[in-house]
Amino acid sequence: MLNDEDLNRYARQVIIPNFDEEGQEKLFRTACLIIGAGGLGCPVALYASAAGFGHIEICDDDTIDLTNLNRQIAHKNNKIGHNKAENLVQECSSINPNITIISNKKKFDKSTDIKKFDLIFDCSDNLETKYTINLLSHLYKKTLISGSAVQMEGQLAIWKSGINKEYPCYECIFPKTEEVAPITNCREAGIIGPITGLIGSMQVNEGIKEIALKNYNSSAGYLFLYDGLVQSLDKIKLTKNKKCPVCSI
Ligand SMILES: [Zn+2]
């Protein structure tokens, strides 16, 4: 139940059409796993905390480095060398002390237990982790909200293949290949903070819609491509791969 302080804290969002106190209570009951506490994970965790998602776990084994600070907006200069997940939890708690938020200082892998979560935010920066997140989210029938960003471009998608078999999964669209992939990691290709900030915000926006809003159209089944250089956002309808090793079985 929301208390008086909560009603004040969330006053500006519960008045949005189709949101209401009921939507806020749904957010409060929702458990989110945020995988990655970097460029995407920072805005996702900050906005998810501020919005009132009631149970949040942030998973990252990495430590804060000076080269992270152009975009990983929750990490301050005086926290270089600290664990990212732990620091992000502290920053989120100072925004909203009325939620439960904990850190998991372990690298996400197949052994990570995702059963207790309702929403999975993929804020990882490497393909291997993305494939594992996709596989587990499909198996355990979770809603996966996936973001990625490089240079001045970003991607967003909502994957619900385990919930509705008509929807594609991440691997349907980005199949594993033996070919050498183009360089898409921030370390080698570069990234600016506003792009990760924007994509992370969009991930939480989709999370709020999925959980709290009545009468809305899910964005699952589409891929959103943002180009910050020319300012364009493309919405592409995705097709399921009937031979996908993850979701066609
Ligand atoms: Zn698939």
Q: Could you list the mean pLDDT of each consecutive 10-residue stretch along the chain, which spans 249 residues? A: 90 95 97 98 98 98 97 98 98 97 96 96 96 98 98 98 96 87 74 97 98 94 98 98 93
Query: Which CATH number covers residue 60?
Result: 3.40.50.720
What pLDDT score does 180 carry? 66
List the domain range (segments joined by +) for residue 110: 4-237
Q: Residue 224: inside a domain, yes or no?
A: yes
Q: Residue 156: inside a domain, yes or no?
A: yes
What pLDDT score does 186 carry? 72
The CA distance from 123 to 190, in Å, is 16
What pLDDT score does 179 carry? 75
Instruction: State the distance from the centre of ligand 1 to the C-alpha of 244, rounded, in angstroms.
Output: 5
The CA distance from 60 to 104, in Å, is 6
Instruction: State the distance from the centre of ligand 1 to the C-alpha of 46, rounded, in angstroms.
Output: 30
Domain count, the chain: 1
Question: For residue 101, what are its two tokens?
Answer: 């938020």
Q: Residue 245: inside a domain, yes or no?
A: no
DSSP 8-class letter at 135: H
Beta bridge partners of 151: 191
Q: Residue 174: inside a domain, yes or no?
A: yes
Instruction: State the distance from the centre of ligand 1 to the C-alpha of 91, rounded, in angstroms.
Output: 36
What pLDDT score does 181 carry? 64
Question: For residue 148, what are its two tokens?
Answer: 């990625």
Instruction: State the distance from the centre of ligand 1 to the C-alpha of 175, rounded, in angstroms.
Output: 8
Q: Residue 87: inside a domain, yes or no?
A: yes
Q: Residue 79: inside a domain, yes or no?
A: yes
